[in-house]
Structure 1
Amino acid sequence: MAPQGNTGAGAEAELPEYAGHYRLESCLGSGGMGVVHVARSTSGMKLAVKIVHTEFAKDPEFRGRFRQEVAAARKVSGAFTASVVDADPDAERPWMATLFIPGPTLSDEVKRNGPMAPDQLRRLMAGLAEALRDIHRVGVVHRDLKPSNVLLAEDGPKVIDFGISRPKDSELRTETGKLIGTPPFMAPEQFRRPREVGPAADIFALGSVMVHAATGRGPFDSDSPYVVAYQVVHDEPDLTGVPTNLAPIIVRCLAKEPEDRPTPDELMRELRSVAASYDTQTFIPAQRTGDVPGPEPKEQPSRPGRRPSRRTLLVAVAVVLVLAGVLASVQWLGSSEDATAKSGDKPTAAARFAGWTANPVPKATSPAQCSYGAGQLICAQSGTVFALNPADGALMWRHSVAESKPSKPPAVEGGLVQPMVEESRRLEALDPASGETRWQRTLPEHHGMQIVGGMLLLTLLDGTVTGVDAATGDTKWNLRIPGQPTPAFVSFDGDPLAYTTNLSLDGLSTRVTAVDPRTGTVRWDSRLSGNLTPVGAHGGSVFFLSTNNLYGDTDAVVRYTPATESSRRVKLPVARPDAQATVRGNMVYVLAMSGSLDAVDTAAGKRLWNLETSVSRGSVPVADDRHVYFATADGRLLAVDAGKGRLVGQTPARLGSNSGTVAGALPSPTVADGRIYATAPDGTVFAVDAREPSAW
């Protein structure tokens, strides 16, 4: 099916199969200047090929910059970068081929698994310092070091994308009247005097990258690039959550003046001196305090001898007054909800659910992942699947998963509990009453698993999909999905279909395929404009988040109705970084890593409200008719009024004895029967009354 009329893929929809002698296989991502593809040489060598967008290929200045990028990348050795294999800056559409480096970007790693552990942070910083030493010693300044330009390879980090780098003796001046770079990771001099940017700017970026790796956000954070620019130039960095042994080094990297920053060699010497202390590392507690219990605040590292300016003090006073008003309004809102609710909506004292807290796996090192089914709360945690009584949290049974830990919450499908261990070759299903194995079987290796409509859908390593009956373990079908070389299925509650997507080579459109899980039959197949991620389905429509660049910023919500082949795009006023979403009816609730929560009405075609929650990282949200819920990295559960966009309740933090670490995964809470079930980094599973969040 062709792209929708209002969202066509554009002039680059039909790309050549080759760049030079290299066959293009799939799209890795699309940025503002070009598209990066996985490719193969004639001998079968795996490569990453960057191809410039057609519109920029016609710009002589851009071609000059691209030649400079190729020259800069070739100057630097391959020990800390992706080695250049071939390039043609003079092609109709210029391209460059580098060795393919397996491994995620730092941006993707933090997005998937959360902030890095202290020992990982030290190794990352040392690796990046070595890379910058290698880059600077050949006279190149990168000028755009950021998480998406750092690949986490098996032998250490690799710095990629020299698109705006410049040899120190270069006469190419592309920055006149322009800001070239990514604001949250730019040095002050890149805003004040861009023509004088030197190697020290990369050190400043290194400091910002390390704060992101340690906390999931930057040292200067705002939805507005103009505010970020002001903070970078004038404000002190926010190092909340950075390990105390690393904080002084990072503070030096983030010095406002280039001459005050260390060189890569100095960084490596300092890192060697602190390497032995990381086993007992603690973290800097939150700077902003409230009524949530937590560790006593420690002193924030600061630059000696620096006094806050009069303007900073005035701003601080204003912020305190505003926060005081916000806290007062939150308390008022909690009582207001009760006062204005109908008498039948508010639970009586006798009917109120008191809640409970359980610790079924006392030595667990990660939060449990839970779902509701067969009248039980069924969870997976640290290689164990167990069931809890939803009324009081009592343990009903437990079952060990020997080969690997479950990668998703277990599900009840086909009348049995499915542990959902994606990487294991042993499939088994459990009796929901006892936890005993009802069937098990061995399959070829697979790298993807989804369960829907009484079927387990397994994507094998060769791209073949196998449909396994969840009730019996029997294979029902085995086939390939047209147009989907390696399907990664998703499914949604109340919807009978499974969905998989495939981004086009040019990164401008997404092929969406809906499959009947019982037979493997393709029910519909459409190509839609944009880089889309499905987040829900309702009433015959599928809902997507649309991302606008390589950084994964969400700029719109898209609703597609296959019966009429119509789509509706609701643009967000501000693009949201690393967003996740849930669908409730026609509403889509979008939660960004920055804590910004948007409510988008796809029927009305507009955003209804926005709430800045100040949460730096949250789980995928869930919703019922009255509230939106999500978990936080410190173990809190938050409830937001779905109609008004106001915070109406939150539970205490639950970090436990591991308060110096942050959970890599944030399982979503589960809503069932008027209760909310959630998990926390301290290993506990807890339940609260969904009808009265103000009482949490």
Structure 2
Amino acid sequence: MTPQRSTGAGAEAELPEYAGHYPLESCLGSGGMGVVHLARSTSGLKLAVKVVHAEFARDPEFRGRFRQEVAAARRVSGAFTAPVVDADPEAARPWMATLFIPGPTLSEHVKRNGPMPAAQLRRLMAGLAEALRDIHRVGVVHRDLKPSNVLLAEDGPKVIDFGISRPKDSELRTETGKLIGTPPFMAPEQFRRPREVGPAADIFALGSVLVHAATGRGPFDSDSPYVVAYQVVHDEPDLTGVPESLAPLVLRCLAKEPEDRPTPDELMRELRSVAASYDTQAFIPAQRTGDDAPAPEPSGAGPAPGPRGRFGRRAALAAGALVLALGAVLTGLLWPGDGGGPAAGRTTAPATAAKVTAWRAKPPGKGSGMPLCVDGAGTLLCFRSGLAYALDPTHGTLLWRRSVAGERTSGTPAFSGGLLLVPTDGGRRVVALDPASGAPRWQRDMSGPGGMQSTGGMLLVTGADGTVTGLAGASGDTKWHRRVAGQGTPALASYAGDPLAYAASASADGAYTLVSAVDPGSGGTRWQARLKGTLQPIGSQGGSLFLLAVDPATGEANAVVRYTPGSKAVRRVALSVPLMAPQADVRGDAVHLLAAGGSLYALDLGTGKQLWHVETSVSRGSAPVSSAGHVYFTAPDGRLLAFDAHDGSLVGQTPPRLDTNAGEVAGVLPTPLLAGARVCAASPDGTVFGVAARDPAGW
């Protein structure tokens, strides 16, 4: 069948014929992020294939969002979702194929059949609670649960669409112009503190979905998304028409504060008390047939028109409410682009603190990409597109600049032996520059190194044969050349303030990891330990080494381990959910992990507890760094974000600073640097900037 032309707003005039090797038979629906097609596998299995709009396929941030959607959908594939069959988020037009589920969306069902009776509402609420329980168990927050994202299959409701950016869902946008949900089904914190959204936001959405299913409208109802936003934050929900047996439970779901809402397990217990048993008959009263059954509605579709009792009663106040709502939304209810206002959180600079002036340094010379910078004994030493330069961290003043003769950088520069060391030519060469002038001091060709690490004034280079060479950072002279006992081809790691370097290699079955502590001055092994599980070093503090425990089958981290060689004590703190590719910061006993997809976790290895976690809504981030009671990291769009180290709340963020070449994506996101009273970061447009570390609310 030839693909149908799309008539949806903003969709392409001519749709693609294939997604990967799947021929697309017909268009099922168009949403803000892409178009959903009916397709079939080689064996004839029916699939629903989502293909990203061409205009967004060219946007690196949207590609990141789609990768996150695919990862989330794969993680939660199960009884309550549409299982992912195949996907290619790196294709010219990224796509994802899920199992075709016959059945209408909840929105379609209510439009066609009217409000659901109480028995069906109980089954719907129980099914969605079970779905959210499974979704939250694997660390995913849906953030956009709404009637058009609920399919009514014969065996119960299925939650679909794990994308969190939908440019055509409404008029409400984040600071980068991308939406975080659909206003009638968003929780108050999604407007007030959009990057603190956790599982409780899905519970609020469930309450709104139940009201829609029971009445044909939402608990907060208006044609204007701005008015809806104001109502969600300030007004009480209108539950007129919701069955009395369910109204108290729905009202708890719609509590303004996340901590006042029930968990999915609590919902299921409450529902069992409402009805001693559930009707197990087919969920859908009128099953549709044909290929048009599960078409997701265009994302911009809102609730069906229905009774507007609350607004009828407030007709005399409509004009004033609209003015107040617009004013509140535009000046304080939503988050401003510079990261100020309510979204910036509660932490402010102490009244007695000295004023710290922010600065921003434009990139010298031509080139593209994010600068890679290191702290060079009080000077910011940076490298970008073959150009090395130094900045004063107090004022951002350019101190010197020097071209590194047509060399291509490969990896992050290092500061060792009082010199700036720049790895080039795929790591096969190192150029050493004087931090005061940029003048070259020495350069060395490396023979196929397997890795390079700077520590203790030494440069440790691992060759392809596993032999490690120790070079003096100040001169480039070879000081030693040897193997590390028990380590094949060690990837050495080092950490600020620790005089040792560390290597870790797991056994073939993942049962144990051999950890070696290497003296960078001599290459000798200070100590070795055989620790349980597959472990990766992430930091050291106070004589202890911190490691991630990784599942060898999935590559996901499931715990943080602290090993103290003096006492040989081991403490293991399990993560509440497995994390993919987390980057870590260790400060005292506190460990902060930022995972792929933007989940930020805090653990206390002293008490052995996980303290908190937040979903930052950043597709990926740099390694985090903590100081002054905050956790900082950089986003792909150039924002520097700060979260409260005590409770995980967002306390500030800088504006995005994107490269003019939107098709270029930074392979490495530089870790923010702490320089006195400032935290310094780089952005894709090439600028380096410094802001007050203790005052993220003022960024």
Q: TM-score, normalised by structure 1?
A: 0.59
SS of equivalent to 2:347: helix
Question: Of 380, 388, 393, which aligns to 1:390?
Answer: 393
Match of 2:20 in 1: 129
Match of 2:116 in 1: none
CA distance in 1: counterparts of 2:464 and 2:177, whole angstroms: 46
Offset of residue 451 of structure 1: 0.3
What amino acid is aligned across from residue 469 of structure 1 in structure 2?
A: A
Flag the 1:328–1:556 CA change in 2: closer, same or farther, 3 A.
farther
Offset of residue 200 of structure 1: 5.8
Offset of residue 232 of structure 1: 2.8
Offset of residue 606 of structure 1: 0.2
Q: Does 1:256 align with 2:106?
A: no
Question: Of 601, 611, 617, which aligns to 1:608?
Answer: 611
CA distance in 1: counterparts of 2:382 and 2:342, whole angstroms: 36
Match of 2:69 in 1: 218
Flag the 1:297–1:601 CA change in 2: closer, same or farther, 3 A.
closer
Offset of residue 412 of structure 1: 2.1
Flag the 1:197–1:617 CA change in 2: closer, same or farther, 3 A.
same
Offset of residue 680 of structure 1: 1.2
Q: Does 1:522 align with 2:369?
A: no
1:97-120: CA deviation from partner (whole Å, max 9, x where unpaired): xxxxxxxxxxxxxxxxxxxxxxxx
Match of 1:461 in 2: 464
CA distance in 1: counterparts of 2:561 and 2:449, whole angstroms: 31
Match of 1:265 in 2: none
CA distance in 2: counterparts of 1:638 and 1:661, whole angstroms: 22
Q: Does 1:246 align with 2:115?
A: no
CA contact (8 A) 2:386 2:407 kept: yes
Length, aligned pairs only: 468
Offset of residue 314 of structure 1: 4.8
Offset of residue 322 of structure 1: 6.8
Task: Tell me which moved more, 458-467 or 417-426.
Answer: 417-426
Match of 1:646 in 2: 649
Q: Does 1:294 align with 2:145?
A: no
CA contact (8 A) 1:384 1:398 kept: yes
CA distance in 1: counterparts of 2:41 and 2:529, whole angstroms: 47
CA distance in 2: counterparts of 1:593 and 1:298, whole angstroms: 18
CA contact (8 A) 1:223 1:574 kept: no
CA contact (8 A) 1:430 1:437 kept: yes
The correspondence of residues 69-468 of structure 1 with structure 2, limited to 5 A, is: 129=20, 199=43, 215-219=66-70, 221=72, 225=76, 230-232=80-82, 246=93, 250=95, 253-254=97-98, 256-257=100-101, 293-294=175-176, 310-311=212-213, 314=218, 331-332=341-342, 334=344, 336-338=346-348, 343-344=351-352, 347=353, 351-361=354-364, 363-402=366-405, 404-421=407-424, 423-468=426-471
Flag the 1:385–1:197 CA change in 2: closer, same or farther, 3 A.
same
Match of 1:658 in 2: 661
1:174-199: CA deviation from partner (whole Å, max 9, x where unpaired): xxxxxxxxxxxxx999xxxxxx9984
Flag the 1:233–1:397 CA change in 2: closer, same or farther, 3 A.
same
CA contact (8 A) 2:596 2:619 kept: yes
What amino acid is aligned across from residue 412 of structure 1 in structure 2?
A: F
Offset of residue 525 of structure 1: 1.1
Flag the 1:424–1:230 CA change in 2: closer, same or farther, 3 A.
same
CA distance in 2: counterparts of 1:259 and 1:242, whole angstroms: 30
Question: Of 486, 493, 496, which aligns to 1:493?
Answer: 496
Match of 1:7 in 2: none
1:397-433: CA deviation from partner (whole Å, max 9, x where unpaired): 2233346433333222211111133734333311111
CA distance in 2: counterparts of 1:556 and 1:417, whole angstroms: 35
CA contact (8 A) 1:582 1:620 kept: yes
Match of 1:484 in 2: 487
What amino acid is aligned across from residue 676 of structure 1 in structure 2?
A: V
1:39-80: CA deviation from partner (whole Å, max 9, x where unpaired): xxxxxxxxxxxxxxxxxxxxxxxxxxxxxxxxxxxxxxxxxx
Flag the 1:206–1:503 CA change in 2: closer, same or farther, 3 A.
farther
CA contact (8 A) 1:591 1:597 kept: yes
The correspondence of residues 524-563 of structure 1 with structure 2, limited to 5 A, is: 524-563=527-566
1:134-191: CA deviation from partner (whole Å, max 9, x where unpaired): xxxxxxxxxxxxxxxxxxxxxxxxxxxxxxxxxxxxxxxxxxxxxxxxxxxxx999xx
1:639-680: CA deviation from partner (whole Å, max 9, x where unpaired): 011112211001111114233554332111111201111111
CA contact (8 A) 2:46 2:99 kept: no
Question: Of 604, 621, 625, which aligns to 2:624?
Answer: 621
RMSD of the alignment, in Å? Answer: 4.4
Structure 1 unmatched ranges of 5 or more: 1-124, 134-186, 190-195, 261-282, 301-307
Flag the 1:258–1:515 CA change in 2: closer, same or farther, 3 A.
farther
CA distance in 2: counterparts of 1:313 and 1:617, whole angstroms: 36
**Could you say which structure has the larger radius of gyration?**
2
CA contact (8 A) 1:215 1:242 kept: no
What amino acid is aligned across from residue 498 of structure 2 in structure 1?
A: D
CA distance in 2: counterparts of 1:485 and 1:504, whole angstroms: 11
Flag the 1:238–1:515 CA change in 2: closer, same or farther, 3 A.
closer
CA contact (8 A) 1:639 1:693 kept: yes
CA distance in 1: counterparts of 2:514 and 2:632, whole angstroms: 31
CA contact (8 A) 1:216 1:617 kept: no
What amino acid is aligned across from residue 612 of structure 1 in structure 2?
A: E
Match of 2:476 in 1: 473
What amino acid is aligned across from residue 232 of structure 1 in structure 2?
A: A
Offset of residue 224 of structure 1: 7.4
CA distance in 2: counterparts of 1:299 and 1:566, whole angstroms: 46
Flag the 1:410–1:622 CA change in 2: closer, same or farther, 3 A.
same
